Amino acid sequence: MAFLENTVIIKKPLTEVFQIATDFTKSPEFMDAVVEVEPLTEGPVRKGYQFKEVREIRGRKAASTIEITEYEQNRSYTASSEQNGLELRYHYTFIETTGGTKVKFAGELFTKGIRNKLFQPLIKKIIKKEDEHHLDNLKTYIEQDSESGNG
């Protein structure tokens, strides 16, 4: 069950939005906590593709490996990571509309171990603080990029 959800409409064609959204090296430009991304898999993004993401959380850097566990070109993907008994799954769906591209996001958290289960509400709160606005930031990033003549 999703604990974090958001939907935005980006005033750009679906293929452009999907291409930018799946270029994970651009994440630091619109995800506040992400400071570095390093591809671990060569070639195009697909199911099984992995990258290392470094976030700065409360002044400390934390790295995690993220894997694309579901992928359908120009339609949807799921990015999953597991660390210290915590598994995060971020699901993205892209739908072409007359006003641009509708992007739906749902984040799920799965915990293992009694300690993580007890701290789950706090963990969700921290993750929400980091990521709840990333789709809004993506929308601004994509729409401003083309307005400034860079896209």
* pLDDT tens per residue, range 105-117: 999 999 999 998 9
| Proportion of the chain in helix, strand, coil states, percent, rounded to 5 | 30, 45, 25
pTM of the model: 0.91
- The least confident of 66-70, 84-88, 125-129, 144-148 is 144-148
* pLDDT tens per residue, range 13-63: 999 999 999 999 999 999 988 999 999 999 999 999 999 999 998 789 989
List, in order of start, the domains of the chain with CATH numbers. Answer: 4-32+69-147 (3.30.530.20)
CB 26 within 8 A of CB 20: yes
Amino acid at 52: K
